[in-house]
């Protein structure tokens, strides 16, 4: 399954502006630590937090990346490139790159086939360790899909509410939210996710709730689930087949681990009622 989705980065105070991003990535990180500090970033295998051993590739099949920062406004491309070069010098990571969207440049690390890819998880862990160490100040470090080409879908058709007259249920495969509640940028993330999935041939939708935006797949009628007498709900073969393609409910692109009866598992995708459905 292929994804070509979006890039959203949040700092402690919400979506990172040009000035804040420049201060956090360039000014704070690279002005504060000199070349002699490189040894402090080395791991036990000799690579800087393991980055020198990354096997990420820019193949067309590798449609996920790690989002590190966003630059907006005049000169955003040049500023993002400056941050990329300095971060590469600091970490030794072999695949730092800059993407663009309207009026913004985005700083990425790596190319991966899926968010479950082992190398992706290793690299993400190293970036998060580096961010937590305070050695390099990054707005965020999170797995995100790569931005799609523009013009892939009618926004009104992608809104889940447009399916209200065609079915009762849809399969929720993820959601996006800003934990600080100070930005609506995750709404755009969900819209771009649905757009990219449509380009890949899936019947995808977004839905903006009061606190988060969801991404769903498919439209199903009452036959999609059967309730047993003991309270158990059984999904139809059609829903189960779709779940095999999209097994998890992802939060900001990452699986959710939950513990029940002493057993820890990753939260699966699940059916939700289509808002305003009448069938």
Instruction: With beta carbons less than 8 A apart as the criterion, state whether 82 and 122 touch.
Output: no
Instruction: Enter the pTM of the model.
Output: 0.47
8 A C-beta contact, residue 181 and residue 211: yes
Instruction: For residue 224, give the nearest of 175, 270, 160 by alpha carbon.
Output: 270
Task: Report pLDDT for 184.
Answer: 67
Instruction: Tell me the C-alpha distance between 237 and 105, whole Å.
Output: 43
Domains delineated in the chain: 10-145 (3.30.70.1070), 155-273 (no CATH)
Task: Spell 102-131 as b/e; 16+ CB within 10 A means b.
Answer: eebbbbbbbbbbebbbebbebbbebbbebb
* Pick from 183, 211, 215: nearest CA to 70: 183
**In this structure, are residues 174 and 214 in contact, taking their beta carbons and an 8 Å threshold?**
yes
**DSSP character string of 67-128:** EEEEEESTTHHHHHHHHHHHHHHHH--S-EEEEEETTEEEEEEEEES-TT-HHHHHHHHHHH
Q: In Å, how far are 66, 91, 179, 257 from 12, measured between CA atoms?
A: 18, 23, 9, 23
**Which residues are CB-neighbours of 53 under 8 A, at least 6 positions away?**
45, 47
Report the phi/psi class of residue 218: left, alpha or beta, with left for phi > 0 and alpha for psi in -120 to 50: left
| Cα–Cα distance measured from residue 178 to residue 184, given in angstroms and rounded to the nearest whole number | 8
Residues 77/105, Cβ–Cβ less than 8 Å: yes
The radius of gyration of the chain's CA atoms, rounded to the nearest angstrom, is 20
pLDDT at residue 252 in the model: 84
Q: Across all residues in the chain, what is the average pLDDT?
A: 73
Please give the chain's pLDDT, 279 residues, in tens: 333 333 333 332 222 332 333 333 333 332 222 232 333 333 333 334 444 444 454 444 557 888 888 888 888 889 889 989 988 888 889 899 988 776 778 888 998 887 778 898 899 889 988 888 877 777 778 887 775 444 444 557 899 988 888 888 999 999 988 766 656 678 888 988 999 898 888 999 999 887 789 999 999 998 998 887 777 889 999 999 999 999 999 988 888 887 777 888 888 999 998 888 866
Pairing of strands 64-72, 142-145: antiparallel
């Amino acid at each position: 399954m292929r994804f070509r989705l979006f890039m959203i980065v949040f700092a402690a105070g919400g979506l990172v502006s040009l000035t804040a991003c420049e201060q956090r990535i360039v000014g704070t990180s690279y002005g504060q630590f000199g070349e002699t500090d490189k040894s402090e970033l080395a791991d036990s295998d000799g690579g800087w937090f393991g980055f020198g051993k990354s096997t990420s590739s820019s193949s067309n099949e590798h449609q996920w990346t790690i989002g590190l920062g966003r630059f907006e406004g005049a000169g955003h491309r040049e500023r993002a490139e400056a941050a990329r070069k300095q971060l590469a010098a600091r970490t030794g990571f072999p695949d730092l790159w800059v993407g663009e969207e309207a009026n913004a440049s985005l700083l990425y690390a790596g190319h991966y086939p899926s968010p479950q890819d082992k190398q992706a998880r290793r690299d993400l862990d190293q970036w998060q360790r580096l961010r937590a160490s305070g050695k390099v100040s990054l707005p965020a470090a999170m797995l995100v899909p790569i931005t799609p080409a523009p013009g892939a879908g009618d926004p009104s058709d992608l809104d889940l509410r447009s399916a209200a007259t065609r079915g009762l249920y849809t399969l929720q495969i993820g959601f996006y939210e800003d934990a600080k509640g100070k930005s609506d940028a995750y709404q755009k993330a969900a819209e771009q996710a649905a757009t990219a999935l449509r380009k890949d041939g899936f019947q995808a939708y977004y839905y903006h709730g009061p606190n988060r935006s969801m991404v769903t797949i498919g439209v199903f009628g009452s036959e999609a689930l059967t309730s047993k007498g003991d309270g158990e709900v059984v999904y139809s073969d059609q829903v189960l087949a779709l779940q095999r393609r999209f097994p998890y409910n992802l939060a900001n692109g990452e699986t959710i681990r939950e513990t029940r009866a002493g057993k820890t598992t990753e939260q699966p995708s699940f059916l939700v009622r289509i808002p305003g459905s009448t069938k």
